[in-house]
Structure 1
Amino acid sequence: MRAGWCGFALGVIWLQSQAALPEWVGWCGLVALGLAAVVVAVWGLRGGTGLSQLRIKPRLRLFAGWSAVWCAAVCVGFGYAAVRAEMRLAASLPHAWEGRDLDVVGSIKGLPSRDENGTRFLFEVDAADAPVAAPVAAPVANFPCVIQLSWIADDAPAPPLEPGERWRLTVRLKRPHGNANFGVRDAEANLLARNVRATGYVSAPAHAVRLPGRARGLSVIVDRWRAALRARIDAVLADAPHRGIVVALAIGAQDEVSAADWLLMRGTGTSHLVAISGLHIGFVAGLAGWLAGAVWRRSAWIGRNWPLRLPAQIVAVTGGAGFAALHATLAGFNVPAQRALWMAGVVALAFVSGRNLARSAVLAWALGLVLLIDPWAVVSAGFWLSFCAVAAILFAVSGRPRLRDRRQPGDDDDDSDGNSDGNGEGEGNGNGNSGGESKSKGGNAPGKFPGLRAAPGRRMRSFGERLHSAAHVQIAVTLALAPLTVYWFAQIPLIGPLANAFAIPWVSLLVTPAVLAGVALPAPFDAWAFHTAHALLDLLAAGLHRLSGPGWALWWLPQPDAWALAAAALGVFWCLAPRGWPLRWAAPLTWLPLLMPASPGPPSGSFRLTALDVGQGTSVLVETAHHALLFDAGPGPESTHAGERVVVPFLQAHGVTALDTLIVSHADSDHSGGAPAVFEAIEVHQMLAALAPDNALWSSARQHGAATLPCAAGQRWQWDGVEFAMLWPDAGPLQGKSNAHCCVLRVSTLPTAASLAAGRIQTAPPRVAALLTADIEAPTERVLLARDRGALRAQVLVVPHHGSKSSSTEPFLDSIDPSIALFQVGYRNRFHHPDAGVFERYNARHIELGRSDTDGAMRVEASPDTQGAALTLERYRETQRRYWMDR
């Protein structure tokens, strides 16, 4: 079964990396391959009957048989995931219904998330009415079952929303769409994994009606229980700084964890402790199992002999598995919780049935069950981190001898055999003794049993060996998760092993039991437990702050490609192999591609321009051979948090740990809102901006060590054979509205060496240029035209004001004469950018167009060429396409 489940998982992972779901030809090929693999597997594993005329060696036949098993399992996993995907994508919002008011009736699903901007929640739709005057009607059966809504608190706060409540709401929806950027998590995949097939907001809060009755079902009961627990914690801890962590450890909801706590724990590699992870579930399940067994064995105290009817070991195992199920349900059934639950369940079933399963088989069963329930679990970081951590532990301890007492002749026969696998799973004798009791044979005189005098020494040696085993496991987990941490988070916390060495037992042995005690105890005793848990978290935060102080504590690395990740995984396997494995000292050499600096920038004399998909806003990264410039930073907390969600993760994944210059074109929030997040995460050497003197960004830049300078026409500098020239605004006080004094930057390559050698420097124009225009409008365009038309000519244009009809005048476009024009716009934005007439104006000039709402991030490689300009345009949604995009 191990091979079958692992092959099934490979098939599921393969499907989630496809650009499109299989058509009928693909299905025919998949079925044919699967059937052929089944035939070969039967032939290879059952002695070759039916094909005995093929005289093949038994080992080769066995190898072919097991290879066929893997192939058949991969086909099954791929087909199963494809069928589930087709079923889920079948429900979709009709294009004609996007952006229109429509009435939906349904119930609140899950736990609503609240902040100062309003409430966000999932809504399970029972019925939907078509919008008035809709061009086409869609079958109600295909309407999304689950939608994600925001109740925006503009004039009045949103009413309290409880799980299971039924409402009639007037909403405006759009199809699931997320920002698509290189090296940044795919938001659309996350929506698909949660079965969210439309997103939107409550467009008429005054017309919302709470309906009588509630939704029914076990999930609603669980959600209401979780909501009640969150309300109890909120009432007890109020505005306590670590209240969000207590909530997360109690019910698995992480939306209330503060930004400061996230930053601290990510920087120390302890963010996994914020979730109800498999470690926590395993610990409390083991504690519950021990307690159930202990109570069962002592039933004689109340005049019962329960162990004679049912062994205490079975009660302990099933009790632990049952409590794991309860705790996983309380955690919201996330992937680590599922993994721990299925492992506990498989172990319990094997024990009750009298079977002995290998630990790798238990992990394989858990892997298969998780993906059978949720094939989209593989798109989350938690899936990989959870399963790889457990796999690393099992592999690291597989070749180590179990710890045993070193007995002298005549020593007492200790009950405990001292076994430990480093994973918190010890082997006892099944009678409740923990190794502290001994069975005397023929008396207990000290002179007859000299080993008793040596017991303290043996126990010290045993403790040292257990400590060494725990350190070995911690190192194994750190090594195994390092490549994944770099891939998902572009960082390696160097103090992670040290921080986890005390954070894991602190949270698992002290904080989590205190939180669970608060969950179980009635008022007012629950308040004492929650306050105790928060006090323990205060001490933990203080210790982590001390560790995270040095700058070297966090190592930022660029996101590795597939080959570097594969080489690092091979190195982990090699390094954790049992003793005696050849050339283990050479394993770190395979990590060199992972640790190398970011891929080199464009060649000297060229530049690379990346227009990020930040929704309705602007953020453009310009790179030369050895320098980086960021033009605007996208929206901030007042809107979509794109600076924190998109810009900073993109820069870190791209290996940009320092910006030579940050240009903030003007004060509009869709251009400047993300700048504070950039200052917090990235080293900025210089900021140029067209901002009022009292704008807070000036002081923020200086506090983070950046030199500051206002944008002014005439500013010029050169990096690596590329010239940067500021064309607007004029020096002096800023006048008019913010769009009237935006920074306008021209980036151009310098004349080539061939031009210089031929003496044509005076007549040869720069080979390639790009013009970044921010939000300038027609009046500014006319001023720039009147000054110098030649200075505006550029092959690449970031379209002014997102394609607004107030800009991109025809004389301006004729003067620039671009080959490529990039529109940075949000999907179905409320400004209706780009304007249809303006877009057609570009299209009529046969300009190659890119739009962030349909193409995602756009990357232009610009370099001089003997024949003119060499330009290449890469669209994210083309090169990184997945089957769920635009569905």
Structure 2
Amino acid sequence: MRAVWCGFALGVVWLQRQAVLPDTGAWCALILLGCTAAGVAVWGLRGGGAAAAAGVTGAAGAADAAGAALQREYERGFSHQLASRVWRDARMRRVAGWSAVWCAAICVGFGYAAVRAQTRLAVSLPHEWEGRDIEVVGTIKGLPTRDDKGARFLFDVDTNGARLAAFPRVIQLAWIARNAAAPRLEPGERWRLTVRLKRPHGNANFGVRDAEASLLARNVRATGYVSVPDHARRLTGHARGLAVLVDRWRAGLRARIDTVLADAPHRGIVVALAIGAQDEVSPADWQLMRGTGTSHLVAISGLHLGLVAGLTGWLAAAIWRRSGWLGRNWPLRLPAQLVGVTAGAMFAALHAALAGFNVPAQRALWMAALVALAFVGGRQLARSTVLAWALGLVLLVDPWAVVSAGFWLSFCAVGAILFAMSGRPRVRVPLASRHHEDEEGSAARPVSIRRLRVLAERLRSAAHAQFAVTVALAPLTAYWFAQIPLVGPLANAFAIPWVSLLVTPTVLAGVALPAPLDAFAWRAAHTLLDGLAAGLQLASGPRWTLWWLPQPNAWALAAAALGVLWCLAPRGWPLRWAAPLSWLPLLMPSASGALAEPSGAFRLTALDVGQGSSVLVQTAHHALLFDAGPGPESSHAGERVVVPFLRAQGVTTLDTLMISHADSDHAGGASAVFEAIEVRQLVAALAPDNPLWPKANQHGTQTLPCVAGQRWQWDGVEFAVLWPDVGALTGKANEHCCVLRVSTLPPTNASQAAAFVGANAPRFTALLTADIEAPTERALLARDPAMLRAQVLMVPHHGSKTSSTEPFLDSIDPSIALFQVGYENRFHHPNAGVFARYAARHIELGRSDRDGAVRVDVDPGARGEEGAALTLERYRDTQRRYWMEP
């Protein structure tokens, strides 16, 4: 079954990498391939086994028909050749059979995931219903989250509460606090709401997590907000069911913890360890734990669940064995071991429900349940078999688990431990030596020595397991988080036992105890977390302890995975010391993220930050970020999109951060950039009292106002500021936006000219215009229309009707125009007339709401039929997945 479940998992992973779901032809091919593979598997395994048995029997001279035939052949002098041929044929048939098993399992996994995906995607909000007020009736699902802006929650719509037969069953809503605070929402409550919805849509950027995949995994087929809060009505009655009871229990526990700990700094960690909800963990705690590689301890992980379930099982078995103290003989009726295993599995299920059944908890729960069932049935399963069954069952329940980091980190960590520990024999003191030592009358000393040896062996095993996990998860950490905490092993060696043996049991004691005793437990847990934070602060140390890496591509990950297996192989495996050489590709940027090295080329990436703007300009050795997207006052795009994108591209230092003006959709994310990325220079059109100036000074960043006439060159690329003029920034912010021109420089000598298409190669220019409007466009035209000519244009003011005048576009005459707009944004950008104005000029258009991030490579030295000075790449074209909107 290990091969079956592993093949099934490969099929599920394969489906989640597809750009489109299979059509009728693909389904026919898949079914034909699966049936053929199943037939070959039956032929190979049955026939191969029979042939092998016949060969063994014949060689041994058994009395059955096949053995007798081989015996006669032996007597004739042909037995050796016949036996060799039989064994060869048997091996070939078994290899073919097992290969066919893998192939059939992959087809089944692919087909199963495809059916689930087609069923889920069949129900979506129609386009014509987007942006309309809709009245829905339903119940609060899961745990709502609250902050100072309001509440966010899942809403389970009644089938008879919508006016559309195929209306999405689960929608994600925000209740924005305006004139009055959002009401307290409890799981299972019934409400009648007036909402405004849109289809599930997420920001799509290179190297950044796909939000649409997460929405699909939770079966959220529409998102929106409560548009008329005054008309919202709480209805009588509650939803029923086990899931609702669990959610209400979790909500009650969170309320109790919030009451006890109030504004305590680590209250969010206590909540996370108690009920698995991580939304209340403070940014400071997240930053500390991510920097030390201990953020996995915040979740109710498989490690916590396994330790607590084991402790529960041991306690239940101990009480059961001592039932004689109560005048009972329970162990005579039911073995204590059976009671302990059953109690541990049941508590694991309870704890997983408390955690919201996240992927690590599901994995640990299935493994505990399988071990318990095997023990009850009197069987013993290999640990790898248990892990394979857990893998298959997790994906059977949720095929989209593979798109989350928790799935890969959890299963790879357990797999690495099993692989690394499989070749390590346990050191035991022979029983004869114990008797010999006891007979000599020196029992006390040998017992102490034996205990020390056992303790030392356990410490070595724990250290080896920690080493295996650290090595195995390093490539995955680089892929998912673009970082490797160098102090991770040291920090985890302290944090794992501290949290698992002290903090988690104390938190769970508070869950089990009634009020007011629970308050003592949770305050004690918070005190322990204070000690943990102090220890992690000491371990975090200087900046170099956190190693930032560009997001690796598939080939780099494959090479690193081979290196992990090579490094963790049993002792005696050849050249294990050379395994780290296979990790060198992790240090190199991927092909999609790498920039052409020659001087004179640059790359412009217009990020998808929703309704806002952020553009990264890279030369061979420098990087400039033009605007930083919205901040905490809106969508947190600076923290969610801009910073992860920069890290995934390997940009750890920005030579210049240019903030065009003070509007929050352009400048709001700058604070997040300052906190995460080293910024050498801030150039901005901001008022003197703007808080970004002291923020930059606090981080040691050089500051400079954005003024027309500023020029500099990087790697054969010229940067020039065209607007605003010198003087006080008065009037609307849009009137004094920074306008930046980025141009390639012509070759200055014969050797450089040879690298270009011709010695008289034209200059290629990109024009970044921020939110300028018609008056600024006219002012720029009055100065020098020639300086505005550009092949790439960042459309002014997101395509607003107040910008992109006809004379301005005629002067620029762009080949590519990029709109940075939010999906179904409330400003209705881009304006339909303005968009038609660009389309009528046959300009290549890119829109962040439809295309995601758009990347333009400008390379005057490109040659050949496929080489071009301008190349355009749309994220939703090259990185397309079947759940993305067409």
- TM tier, smaller: over 0.9
Aligned pairs for 1:613-628 within 5 A: 613-628=608-623
Quote the residue 2:34 is aligned against. 34
Deviation of 1:752 after TM superposition, in Å, equals 2.6
Equivalent-residue separation in structure 2 for 1:192 and 1:854 (angstroms): 18
Deviation of 1:568 after TM superposition, in Å, equals 0.3
Equivalent-residue separation in structure 1 for 2:94 and 2:633 (angstroms): 62
CA contact (8 A) 2:467 2:489 kept: yes
Tell whether 2:709 aligns with 1:714: yes
Tell whether 2:857 aligns with 1:861: yes
Structure 1: gaps spanning 5 or more residues:
131-137, 414-445
CA contact (8 A) 2:766 2:793 kept: yes
Quote the residue 2:12 is aligned against. 12
Tell whether 2:447 aligns with 1:455: yes
CA contact (8 A) 2:551 2:589 kept: no
Quote the residue 1:125 is aligned against. 157
Quote the residue 1:291 is aligned against. 315
Equivalent of residue 339 in structure 1, options 340, 359, 363 = 363
CA contact (8 A) 1:43 1:49 kept: no
Quote the residue 1:677 is aligned against. 672
Tell whether 2:785 aligns with 1:789: yes
Deviation of 1:766 after TM superposition, in Å, equals 5.0
Aligned pairs for 1:574-593 within 5 A: 574-593=566-585
Tell whether 2:724 aligns with 1:725: no
Amino acid at match of 2:371: V
Deviation of 1:758 after TM superposition, in Å, equals 9.6
CA contact (8 A) 1:412 1:451 kept: no
Equivalent-residue separation in structure 1 for 2:331 and 2:133 (angstroms): 65
Tell whether 2:534 aligns with 1:545: no
Amino acid at match of 1:198: A
CA contact (8 A) 1:664 1:672 kept: yes
CA contact (8 A) 2:48 2:91 kept: no
Tell whether 2:492 aligns with 1:500: yes
Quote the residue 2:125 is aligned against. 93
Q: Which moved more, 1:398-407 or 1:299-308?
A: 398-407
CA contact (8 A) 1:767 1:865 kept: no
CA contact (8 A) 1:230 1:247 kept: yes
CA contact (8 A) 1:103 1:128 kept: no
SS in 2 for 1:874: strand
Q: Deviations over 1:459-480 (max 9, x none)?
A: 1122112111111110000000
CA contact (8 A) 1:410 1:449 kept: no
Instruction: Say which structure is richer in helix.
Output: 2
Amino acid at match of 2:649: H
Equivalent-residue separation in structure 1 for 2:429 and 2:32 (angstroms): 57
Quote the residue 1:44 is aligned against. 44
Tell whether 2:698 aligns with 1:703: yes
Quote the residue 1:562 is aligned against. 554
Equivalent of residue 825 in structure 1, options 821, 824, 827 = 821
SS in 2 for 1:883: coil
Q: Deviations over 1:312-362 (max 9, x none)?
A: 111110110000000000000000000000000000000000111000000
Identity %: 76
Quote the residue 2:135 is aligned against. 103
CA contact (8 A) 1:7 1:73 kept: yes
Aligned pairs for 1:289-688 within 5 A: 289-405=313-429, 409-411=433-435, 449-596=441-588, 600-602=594-596, 603-688=598-683
Q: Which moved more, 1:865-874 or 1:576-585?
A: 865-874
Deviation of 1:736 after TM superposition, in Å, equals 1.3
Equivalent-residue separation in structure 2 for 1:849 and 1:614 (angstroms): 18
Quote the residue 1:77 is aligned against. 109
Aligned length: 845
Tell whether 2:795 aligns with 1:799: yes
Q: Which moved more, 1:665-674 or 1:309-318?
A: 309-318
CA contact (8 A) 1:407 1:451 kept: no
CA contact (8 A) 1:180 1:856 kept: yes
Q: Which moved more, 1:803-812 or 1:582-591?
A: 582-591
CA contact (8 A) 2:49 2:90 kept: no
Quote the residue 1:261 is aligned against. 285
Equivalent-residue separation in structure 1 for 2:125 and 2:148 (angstroms): 29
Quote the residue 1:59 is aligned against. 91
SS in 2 for 1:188: helix
Equivalent-residue separation in structure 2 for 1:724 and 1:165 (angstroms): 57
Quote the residue 2:77 is aligned against. none
Q: Note closer, same or farther for the CA distance 1:389–1:757 as it changes in structure 2 (3 Å cut).
A: closer
SS in 2 for 1:47: helix
Amino acid at match of 1:745: L
SS in 2 for 1:411: helix
Q: Note closer, same or farther for the CA distance 1:224–1:212 as it changes in structure 2 (3 Å cut).
A: same
Q: Which moved more, 1:652-661 or 1:446-455?
A: 446-455
Equivalent of residue 273 in structure 1, options 288, 294, 297 = 297
Deviation of 1:457 after TM superposition, in Å, equals 1.5
Q: Deviations over 1:38-57 (max 9, x none)?
A: 11101111025999999761
Equivalent of residue 186 in structure 1, options 210, 214, 219 = 210
CA contact (8 A) 1:411 1:451 kept: no
Aligned pairs for 1:759-774 within 5 A: 766-774=762-770
Equivalent-residue separation in structure 1 for 2:429 and 2:267 (angstroms): 45
Equivalent-residue separation in structure 2 for 1:319 and 1:98 (angstroms): 50
Equivalent-residue separation in structure 2 for 1:404 and 1:395 (angstroms): 21
CA contact (8 A) 2:552 2:588 kept: no
CA contact (8 A) 1:823 1:834 kept: yes
Equivalent-residue separation in structure 2 for 1:448 and 1:669 (angstroms): 82
CA contact (8 A) 1:411 1:452 kept: no
Q: Note closer, same or farther for the CA distance 1:747–1:556 as it changes in structure 2 (3 Å cut).
A: same
Q: Deviations over 1:481-527 (max 9, x none)?
A: 00000000000000000000010000001000110000000111100
Q: Note closer, same or farther for the CA distance 1:32–1:412 as it changes in structure 2 (3 Å cut).
A: farther
Deviation of 1:732 after TM superposition, in Å, equals 1.6
Quote the residue 1:443 is aligned against. none
CA contact (8 A) 2:819 2:847 kept: yes
Q: Deviations over 1:754-813 (max 9, x none)?
A: 7999999xx968520000000000000000000000000000000000000000000000
Tell whether 2:876 aligns with 1:881: no
Equivalent-residue separation in structure 1 for 2:730 and 2:398 (angstroms): 56
Deviation of 1:879 after TM superposition, in Å, equals 0.1
Q: Which moved more, 1:52-61 or 1:690-699?
A: 52-61
Q: Deviations over 1:812-865 (max 9, x none)?
A: 000000000000000000000000000000000000000000000000001225
SS in 1 for 2:433: coil
Structure 2-normalised TM-score?
0.93
CA contact (8 A) 2:49 2:94 kept: no
Deviation of 1:450 after TM superposition, in Å, equals 3.6
Tell whether 2:274 aligns with 1:242: no
CA contact (8 A) 1:568 1:594 kept: yes
Deviation of 1:584 after TM superposition, in Å, equals 0.9
SS in 2 for 1:46: helix
Equivalent-residue separation in structure 2 for 1:736 and 1:60 (angstroms): 81
Structure 1-normalised TM-score?
0.93
CA contact (8 A) 1:770 1:795 kept: yes
Deviation of 1:35 after TM superposition, in Å, equals 0.5
CA contact (8 A) 1:3 1:70 kept: yes
Deviation of 1:870 after TM superposition, in Å, equals 1.3
Quote the residue 1:25 is aligned against. 25
Deviation of 1:453 after TM superposition, in Å, equals 3.1
Deviation of 1:601 after TM superposition, in Å, equals 2.6
CA contact (8 A) 2:563 2:583 kept: yes
Equivalent-residue separation in structure 2 for 1:492 and 1:42 (angstroms): 46
Amino acid at match of 2:885: D
CA contact (8 A) 1:728 1:742 kept: yes
Amino acid at match of 2:416: A
Equivalent of residue 158 in structure 1, options 182, 192, 203 = 182
Q: Note closer, same or farther for the CA distance 1:750–1:380 as it changes in structure 2 (3 Å cut).
A: same
Q: Note closer, same or farther for the CA distance 1:795–1:129 as it changes in structure 2 (3 Å cut).
A: farther
